[in-house]
Amino acid sequence: SQQGEEDPQALSIQEGENATMNCSYKTSINNLQWYRQNSGRGLVHLILIRSNEREKHSGRLRVTLDTSKKSSSLLITASRAADTASYFCATDGTGNQFYFGTGTSLTVIP
């Protein structure tokens, strides 16, 4: 399977702290994306980073990509209770498919 893996599976932090989650994948990619899913809902696209980029920012989100290690990290700064959700990384693989990891469940305690 080309599916990625997020780490940790679950993360619990206090409001205002930073949250970091990691993604490892197996094959070469053109881009890697991060998505967020609120409980029982569809996924929402957060950010895309291309294979020739090392770091990207969007608001309170910072994504890094290390293609030599086949890994990425998502940092959410100054977390809020509303950031409580599951976060998934997705990579583009062969055959124009997207491969999702199993997700990190983030709980931000007010």
Single out the residue of 1, 14, 52, 68 in contact with other proteins (rule: CB under 8 A): 1
CA distances from 58 to 34, 47, 82 (A): 12, 7, 17
Single out the residue of 8, 10, 16, 41 in contact with other proteins (rule: CB under 8 A): 41
Q: Give, for 56, the enclosing helix (H) or strand (E).
A: strand 55-58
CA angle 19, 87, 48 (to 5 degrees): 95
In the chain, the amino acid numbered 33 is: Q
Instruction: Point out which residues pair with 75 in neighbouring strands.
Output: 20, 62
58 lies in the binding site for other proteins (CB under 8 A): no
28 lies in the binding site for other proteins (CB under 8 A): no
Q: Which is nearer to other proteins, 19 or 101 (CB)?
A: 101
Single out the residue of 63, 76, 90, 108 in contact with other proteins (rule: CB under 8 A): 90
Interacting residues toward other proteins by CB under 8 A: 1, 3, 31, 33, 35, 40-45, 48, 88, 90, 92, 95-103
